Amino acid sequence: MYPELFRIGSHAVATYGVVVALAVLAGGALLARGFEERGLETDDAWSVVGWALVGAIVGAKTYYVLLHGDPAAFLSRSGLVWYGGLIGGLAAGVIGARRTGLPLGRTADAAAPALALGHALGHMGCFFSGDSYGLPSSLPWAVAFPRGAPPSTAGNLRHVFGVHVPVEIPDGQLLTVHPTMLYSAAVLLAAAFVLWVLRNRPWRPGRLFGLYLFLTGAERFAVEFLRAKDDRFVWGLTTAQDVALVSMAAGLVLFIALRRGASRVPGGADMAGVAAADRRV
């Protein structure tokens, strides 16, 4: 775990920040490739990335503040929540796409594998910073985070995350935990691969994005069971799992409603008309 990549004078360059920057570039490059394959301008892809990046930061910060009641997080480098970033990034991306005159369906499908790839790399950044780790574990690949956020000590697991730790273990003892960031990264990389392989299927515009919502929602729902979290409410589910269920449901609705040969979508819109409108935009 290396939270600091290097220092420039008294300023530390965070590994997480560098990895996130690489994630944005990798996701943007994959988005540009998807645009090119769909007959869209690659410059427009980077325009959408810019819009989405601003929206993602604002959304991630806002979600964190609403969840933790800590307005000071707006001014710090920490305090970023993925689902807030996804919601904010999607909203801003839609605005950017509309302002650029891009078809939303094809834009969303091009973004699906790019989002999964960027998210996977972002989780690797979390691993280096020791953030979002899991429950105590004695598995061979379990990891201790002495410089984590916070360090994975018995006391932090007990008092910060509400995890049951045997009373005979002192608060100051460092424990090995599930590296849930790497679990998420592995599953999301697999999802990005699947979405990329399926990108040229003769599907209705938007269907691939529906699959993205379902796959990434399922990933988050599953991995959360192993996360050290203190926000478990109804049936022991976390806030992120509740949002993941919404993502899965929305993705499933899109995937089924936009299946090949479907004639109508909820609300009575004719799919042929939707497809024609998508081509005209």
18 within domain boundaries: yes
265 within domain boundaries: no
251 within domain boundaries: no
90 within domain boundaries: no
For position 273, what pLDDT does the model report?
A: 41
The answer to whether residues 78 and 149 touch, using CB atoms and an 8 Å cutoff, is yes
Q: Which of 207, 209, 204, 213 is nearest to 270 (CA)?
A: 204
Considering the entire predicted model, what is its pTM? Answer: 0.83
- How many Cβ atoms sit within 10 Å of the Cβ of residue 148? 21
76 within domain boundaries: no
Q: Which of 37, 33, 15 is nearest to 25 (CA)?
A: 33
- What type of residue sits at position 264? R
- Does residue 266 have a pLDDT over 60? no
Question: What long-range pairs does 137-144 form, CB within 8 A, spacing at least 24?
Answer: 137/176, 137/177, 137/178, 138/176, 139/178, 141/179, 142/176, 142/177, 142/178, 142/179, 143/1, 143/176, 143/177, 143/179, 144/174, 144/175, 144/176, 144/177
For position 79, what pLDDT does the model report?
A: 64
Q: pLDDT band at 95, cuts 50/70/90?
A: very high
Q: Which of 212, 183, 217 is nearest to 196 (CA)?
A: 212
- Does residue 78 have a pLDDT over 90? no
212 within domain boundaries: no
For position 235, what pLDDT does the model report?
A: 75
For position 267, what pLDDT does the model report?
A: 36
235 within domain boundaries: no
- What type of residue sits at position 257? A
Tell me which residue range forms the domain holding 198: 4-40+103-205
For position 268, what pLDDT does the model report?
A: 37
For position 209, what pLDDT does the model report?
A: 96
Domain count, the chain: 1
139 within domain boundaries: yes
- Does residue 115 have a pLDDT over 90? yes
Q: In whole numbers, what is the pLDDT of the chain averaged over residues?
A: 86
For position 8, what pLDDT does the model report?
A: 79
Rounded mean pLDDT of 247-259?
94
